[in-house]
Amino acid sequence: MTRLELINAINLVLEEGNELSTVVYAVFKDTYEIKQLNIVNDEIEHIQNLFIQSIRANIVDVEEQTLVNVSDADDRANTIFEYDLDLPESLEYFNSELDDNIPVFAFNDDDLVNVESLLIEIGTEENQIVLLKQLSPVEVFGRGGYMLWKSNQQFERFQDKVLRITPKFNGLKINDTFIFTELKLLERTHGFHDVIVREANASIQLIQELNLLDTTDGLTALLGNISFARKVLKIRNSPVLINNIPNATIIIFTKTHPALRNKMSYSEDDSQIILETKISKELFIKMLDDAYLTSELTNKFYESKAKDAVNTENEENEG
């Protein structure tokens, strides 16, 4: 999905004139059980407007925002992420069917302290947006400590619990596509690192099939470092692999590029690269990600994390 497609899908749901309805669900920690919150009608409209404004402020109306796949994620600013991997087990509830069969939160049986996150469904019968909101400790008052509140002109102990709803959300589901506003939630989620390592192993298998390295064991051994594993994961979309660059061309590049020269070893017949050091392994992965670029204007060498392709179609048509 492109960012324009995402915005068009959001606007289709939120466009003026739609009879929107909103339902808020609580997700319990550990069990990930979902229960509907029974909220008085007057407040539902306020909650709906709160999150519609937040969607527009954080996605629709943001200038120069970039949408990238989680598997291609880097540390670029002003970026949102489409989740293109298997959801971690502890986030599978984000893909749950939300309907009238879901039980209602009951204060006699349920405790706000055990609520981990909220799902906010906004939309029509045909089209919906589901927001994922991870609750912070300050959004459930009464989780612990000793609280006082105003009673007449004195303070007395407040022994109940209060759910504070703020407009911040962490994820958005629309048309079976999952969008996350930041990577922090995913990085904190149990199981996400396992997903990254599993997918990174698949990328190493692609490298092994090239027969470019004498062995890929050194790369596999470094996958315990999640930062390195994420870089390896990106290789599955490597322009070098996709364009079937010949091994001989790659080897010549590693021998001549200033950032790579003298950093790697080679087999006696120069047909394979030998990665003996951690630095050589990291440089090799960067090279497969096509991170080393040369300016045609200045002939200077650069390292680039973001490689957004230039669309030359309009220029060619004009010519």
Note the pLDDT of residue 20.
Answer: 95
CA distances from 174 to 53, 102, 293, 307 (A): 17, 20, 36, 27
Note the pLDDT of residue 213.
Answer: 96
Helix (H, G, I), strand (E, B) or coil at 85: coil
Strands 79-82 and 66-69: parallel
* Pairwise CA distance, residues 254 & 252, whole Å: 5
- Core vs surface per residue 230-241: b (16+ CB within 10 A) or e: bbbbbbbebebb
Assigned token pair, 307: 């490689």
Note the pLDDT of residue 298.
Answer: 43
Note the pLDDT of residue 242.
Answer: 87
Q: What are the pLDDT tens digits along the chain (319 aa)?
A: 999 999 999 999 999 878 999 999 999 998 999 999 999 988 999 999 999 999 999 999 998 899 999 988 877 789 999 999 988 888 999 999 999 899 999 988 998 889 999 999 999 999 999 999 998 876 776 555 555 556 667 676 666 678 888 999 999 999 999 999 988 888 887 678 889 999 999 999 999 999 999 999 999 999 999 889 999 998 888 888 888 899 999 999 999 998 899 999 999 999 999 999 999 999 999 999 887 755 445 455 555 555 555 454 444 444 4
Note the pLDDT of residue 229.
Answer: 92
